[in-house]
Amino acid sequence: GRGRQPQHFKGSSDSAGLGKAEDRGIDGSGAPGVIPGTASVWVKTFGCSHNQSDSEYMAGQLEAYGYRIVSNSNDADLWLVNTCTVKNPSETAMVNIVNKGRELEKPMVVAGCVPQGEKNIKGLEKASLLGVAQIDRVVEAVEETLQGNTVRLLEKKELPRLDLPKVRRNKHIEIIPLSTGCLGNCTYCKTKHARGELGSYDPEARLAE
């Protein structure tokens, strides 16, 4: 249910059976001094309702683990930027946010369609990256990043559960994901490249929501 503590994956192996930090897409200095679950996080979301829902789930997991979600970016110990890659303006706005964060020396986790579709995009070299199917590992990504490591969690896997903790952006509106991906191949849109073929969430899980 919503009140359940999120699973903590630090030190565990991923679906590829890799356990060591470097094998799990982690690279960095391992800077000490950050107590897990005590920092503040600012969440910035670009894009569609699906992205808004992903951000609500990520914020919910972080809050359930003890992190504080703040509305003022200057007050945050870490920035979590959930990105959109459908059109260039959203991607450009994301790059501007990342550049600002780098100038302020904010640790950053960049999630969503941009890193999933193009992980080597200019400007993301020092940011941790979290793929669209890896939002249930956001606690791990944030903790590693606050420790001074750079995380790359971009592996495609089964869809995340719908019973994860959630922080609603609007308490009067519940966003329930029905599916992800796309059947089309529009030349102007990179969403399918990021989210893949059409996939549906389990009907019983949707009804439970």
User: Mean pLDDT of residues grouped by 10 in the chain (209 residues)?
Assistant: 40 35 48 71 90 93 95 96 80 88 95 84 88 92 95 83 78 74 75 70 61
Exposed (0-12), middle (13-18) or buried (19+): which is 188, by Cβ within 10 Å?
A: exposed
pLDDT of residue 179: 67
Tokens of 60: 């919910």
Full-model pTM: 0.74
pLDDT of residue 203: 64
pLDDT of residue 110: 96
pLDDT of residue 205: 58
Strand partners, 41: 69, 78
- Which residue, among 17, 2, 8, has the nearest Cα to 37 in the 3D structure? 8
- Are the beta carbons of 71 and 198 closer than 8 angstroms? no
pLDDT of residue 23: 40
pLDDT of residue 102: 92
